[in-house]
Structure 1
Amino acid sequence: MADIECLIVDWGGVLTQPVDHAVSAWMKADGIDDRIFEKVMGTWLGPTGSMEAHLNPVHAIERGELEVPHFEERLAQELTKYAHHEINHAGLLQRMFDHFTQADDMRGLVYRVRQLGYKTALLSNSWGNEYPRSGWDEMFDAVVISGEVGMRKPERRIYEFTLEQVGISAPAAVFVDDIKHNITAAVEVGMVGIHHKTYAETKLELSAILGQDLN
């Protein structure tokens, strides 16, 4: 293994509390059964999330190819179809992201890694959402948001683009994400991957990879 020089992390589900917790809270507030959102996403993404953007609104919004109001209209239409009551499309995504809470333990971990002299970067698939960027200048050397660069995970090119932003080769980077196929794609590029589940597990695995005490 090459000497690690950089830590790259996802946002939703890594630097925030688990995505499914936020989505469940939003659906409860909007009076939507949890299974309905899962059904819509399953229809749009397919079993492996491999459908192309012209058929897949999720891929399109993540690349910045679909405006937020149009995505909200399409999502609300699909949710309404299964919910059997009208889902208000206006501000739908903001209502969802209002339930995302920051994971202070993971933010602290990234900050400590950078303080040790490693480069750090954020690599996130966006849904046109505003990010809470306070403190990011102290946390990251580079920030790559899918909708701002016209690429999305797990496309190879977005990993290569992120590596270019920090001037690091793939074997010298560790990538942390909560979605398994995003990790698989990063490993195929040559990075070391950590599938994030909990802070304790990620800290332990990252400590072993870096050979550092991250407490």
Structure 2
Amino acid sequence: MTARVDAVVFDYGGVLTNPVRDSIAAWIEADGIDPDSFSRTLKAWLSRRAQDGTPIHRLETGDLTVAEFDTLIAAELDTVDGRAVDPVGLLARLFAGMHPDQAMFELAGELRGLGIRVALLSNSWGDIYPRELIDPVCDPVVISGEVGLRKPLAPIYRLTLDRLGMPADRVLFVDDAEPNVLGARAVGMQALLHTDAETTRATLAGLIPGLSRRPA
């Protein structure tokens, strides 16, 4: 990534928040979910080899409600003691341990202060977005369930670029999932695989003049 960067587009879960895997691990422990059954279901519904139209795809594009998805995924999961999985509020429990990463929101604010456009592009698993934090720093906000498109397919990246009004090569996309990073690169965007706030800030500081490698 050596081209000029005029805009940075962030994913939400796992980028502007703590790692989603931490929240999932806490839910698996609290609900007594058999981890293998969750991994098996996630692979069948979300892996690169998954056929189009899985329940996760339909949830992300708004074709399934959260309650409908909760029922479908609960039927696929097992518990360690053989109890039935309670579908009511399942996704809410799964995401209960996910919270905004203050360091990443501070980074987004600093980017705006330097004249860099900041946007959000997220695949939605329900309404998990603290808009009171997101809206002051991200414009546009593109959420898959609201636009009927999903990553890593090209149309949602192109929609985000259209709303930014910028050429793809001037826009840097940041996501914690490699397929989504590859999807952004496929439409000509620069893209960065996020691991933590410190590493992402350091990478951006090497691309954007005036951005400190350390928080102010």
The TM-score normalised by the length of structure 2 is 0.92
Which secondary structure state, in structure 1, belongs to the residue aligned with residue 173 of structure 2?
strand
Query: How much does 1:166 deviate?
Result: 1.4
Query: How far did 1:164 drift?
Result: 1.1
Which protein is richer in helix relative to its size? 1
Deviations 1:39-72 (A, max 9, x none): 21112234x154111xx10001000011211111
User: Per-residue displacement from partner, 1:95-150 (whole Å, max 9, x unpaired)?
Assistant: 11221111111111111101111111000000123311112232112100000000
Match of 1:125 in 2: 123
Residue 161 of structure 1: which of 159, 181, 190 is its match?
Answer: 159
Is the Cα–Cα contact under 8 Å of residues 8 and 175 in structure 1 kept in the other structure?
Answer: yes
- Whole-Å separation in 2 of the counterparts to 1:70 and 1:83: 25
1:194 maps to which residue? 192
User: Runs of at least 4 residues of structure 1 off by over 3 A?
Assistant: 80-83
Separation in 2, partners of 1:135, 1:42: 32
> Residue in 2 aligned with 1:87?
85
SS state at 1:210 partner: coil
How far is the alpha carbon of 1:4 from its aligned partner?
1.4
Aligned-residue CA RMSD in angstroms?
1.6
Give the fraction of aligned pairs with identical amino acids, expressed as a percent: 38
Partners of 2:83 and 2:201 in 1: CA distance: 44
> When the two structures are aligned, how many residues end up with a matched partner?
212
SS at match of 1:121: strand
Letter matched to residue 200 of structure 2: T
Could you tell me which of 200, 204, 208 is aligned with 1:206?
204
Q: Is the 8 A contact 1:94 1:129 kept in 2?
A: no
1:107-122 equivalences in 2 (<5 Å):
107-122=105-120
Matched AA of 2:117: K
Please give the secondary structure, in 1, of the residue aligned with 2:204.
helix
Query: Letter of the aligned partner of 1:45 in structure 2?
Result: L
For the residues of structure 1 that align with 2:63 and 2:75, how far apart are their CA atoms?
A: 19
**Aligned partner of 1:170: which letter?**
A
Look up the match of 1:68.
Answer: 66
Aligned residue among 178, 183, 186 for 1:185: 183
**TM-score under structure 1 length normalisation:** 0.93
What letter is aligned with 1:204? Answer: A
Q: State the alpha-carbon separation in 2 of the partners of residues 83 and 44 from structure 1.
A: 25
In structure 1, the residue matched to 2:132 is 134
Corresponding residue of 1:37: 38
Kept after mapping to 1: 8 A contact 2:169/2:190 = yes
2:149 corresponds to which letter in structure 1? M
- Measured in 1, the distance between the counterparts of 2:177 and 2:25 equals 18
Partner amino acid for 2:76? E
Amino acid at match of 1:175: F
Identify unmatched segments of 5+ residues in structure 2: none
For the Cα contact (< 8 Å) 1:36–1:83, is it kept in 2?
no
